[in-house]
Amino acid sequence: MQVHSPEPTTAPAPGGDPLGSSSARRALAGFFVSGVLLSFLGAILFSWQHHLTSQYGIVGLYYAGLITGLVGSARMSTALLRRKGVGWTLALACGLAGAAFLYLAFVSPPFSPWWRVAGMAIVGFAAGLLHTAIFHAISPMYRHDPAATVSAEPLRMIGSRVIDVTSAHPRHATPLLAQEIGAEQWSVELP
């Protein structure tokens, strides 16, 4: 007795691509933006001059704000994906992140740190929206070829390294990063 299982029928995505791979590949670029968003706080702490004081509680509050935003976006992101779609949610996340960066530029010290905690919560919220939309967009491609999809994830690491290197100044750079970017070759007198 032979049993034939029926072939699964998949409805082609708009544009004739059954996996929606072109849009999924474009959504993978969101990993770069994710790396920028999540590494921003580590890079900006030097500019906010927290390396000169020992107020570690304030730095912890910045990270708590970031995490609160990430967790807080979970419920809203699924509702947005259902109502508006993946592309709209990705665009909203990027726009919200840009607005949060602009906001944080205006509330730099000497403003109260609580303003920056709120800004980091907005950055976290945008990152949470972005993550949910990215993973929703790449799900068909991941189901088809997990290894090829996961191999594109280093874009996130590249995004975080871009932030680390571009924000590094020899005075603020960690020793490993300073060595990596050649800070000892810069003609800057360090105190």
Q: Which residues make Cβ contacts (< 8 Å) with residue 40, sequence separation at least 6?
A: 101, 123, 163
Report residue 49's pLDDT band, with 50, 70 and 90 as the boundaries: confident
Q: Is the pLDDT of residue 183 over 60?
A: no
DSSP three-state, residue 108: coil
Please report, for the chain, the start and end positions of each structural domain, with discontinuous segments joined by +. 22-168
Q: Are 136 and 81 in contact (CB under 8 A)?
A: yes
Q: How far apart are CA 84 and CA 118, in angstroms?
A: 26
Q: What's the mean pLDDT when you consider all of the chain?
A: 77
Q: In which band, very low, low, confident or very high, does the pLDDT at 137 lie, cut at 50, 70 and 90? A: confident
Average pLDDT of the residues in 145-165: 62
> In this structure, is the dihedral angle defined by the CA atoms of residues 72, 74, 77 and 82, taken in order, positive or negative?
negative
Who wins on pLDDT, 174 or 94? Answer: 94
DSSP letters of 16-80?
S-TT-HHHHHHHHTHHHHHHHHHHHHHHHTTTTTTTSS--HHHHHHHHHHHHHHHHHHHHHHHHH
pLDDT tens-digit map of 77-89: 999 999 999 889 9
Structure-model confidence comparison of residues 106 and 184, the more confident one: 106
Instruction: Identify whether 110 is preceded by a cis peptide bond (ω within 30 of 0).
Output: yes
pLDDT score of 160: 58
Question: Radius of gyration of the chain from Cα atoms?
Answer: 21
pLDDT higher than threshold 70 for residue 69:
yes
Distance, CA of 39 to CA of 145 (rounded, Å): 29
Residue with tokens 């809203």: 76
